[in-house]
Amino acid sequence: MYVTPPNATRPVTAPVWWQVLGPGSTALIGFFMLTVIYRFDGESEIQRDLGLSSLFLLVAGLVAYLAGVALGAVPGLLLGARFPTAVAVPASCFLVFGVLLVAFADAGALLTAGRVLSGLGTGAAAGATVALIVKLREGRGAAGGVTAGLAVLALLLGPVIGQLISEAVGFRPVHLIAVPFLLVALVVNAVLGIVRLSAAKRTVPQPGYPGGPWQPGGAA
C-alpha cells in the first residue's frame, strides 16, 4: 500500500516567459514615470508650476523615487520568482496612488510622497521581473535583453513625451494618462496569476491518481 508521505510538498515549477509580462509591464510604466517630469532643454513644467528650486526637484523628483525603487526591489527580488502576482499587484497599486498624488500635488510634500510611492511600486515590479528572468529555464537571454532594452527606451521616452504633453496641457494630465495603463497592467497581473495558479494545480498529482510518484504504477 502506497501512502503519501506527510513531508511531501508541492513541487516548485520554474517560471515561463509569459509570466514576465505582468510585473514587467508595471516596471516599464514605472521607469517611464521616473523621467517623465524632466525635459532635455531646461526647467520642467512641474518645477515651474509648483515653484520648486532645481535642488528640491532633484531631491523630491529623483532621489525620493530612486530611494523607493531601492526599497521596493528587495521584496521583489526575494519573492518575485515564487509569488510574482502577490508582488506585482501591490506594486501596480503603489504606482497608481503615487502618480495620482503627483498629478494633484500643490506643494513639494505631496510630490515627494507620490514619487516615493511610485518608486516603491517600480522597484518591486522590477525586482520581480529580474527574479523571474533569472529563474527561466529557456529564453533567459532573450527575455533579459528585450526587457532591458524596453526599460532604457521607457527612460528615454519619458522626458520627450512628458515635454510634448506638459507644454500643451500641463504636467498633471501626463500623470493622469498613466493611470489607465497602470490599471491595464493590474488586470494583466491578476489574470496571469489566475492562469499560473490553474496551471500549477493541473501539474500536481492528486492522491489516488495513477501515475503519481507515490501511487501504484507511478515512477519510483
Residue ranges covered by each domain of the chain? 17-199
Q: Check residue 204 and give its pLDDT.
A: 52
- For residues 130 and 188, what is the distance between their CA atoms, to the nearest angstrom? 18
Q: Check residue 47 and give its pLDDT.
A: 86
Mean pLDDT for the chain overall: 84
Q: How far, CA to CA in Å, does 2 sit from each of 89, 211, 214? A: 41, 12, 6
Q: How far, CA to CA in Å, does 146 sit from each of 108, 134, 150, 184? A: 36, 14, 6, 21
pLDDT band at 8 (very low <50, low <70, confident <90, very high): very low
Task: Name the residue with higher pLDDT: 188 or 43.
Answer: 188
pTM for this predicted structure: 0.81
pLDDT band at 112 (very low <50, low <70, confident <90, very high): very high
Q: What's the fold here for domain 17-199?
A: Growth Hormone; Chain: A; (1.20.1250)
Q: State residue 199 phi and psi, 5-degree precision.
A: -65, -40
Q: With 0-12 CB in 10 A as exposed, 13-18 as middle and 19+ as buried, what is 177? A: middle
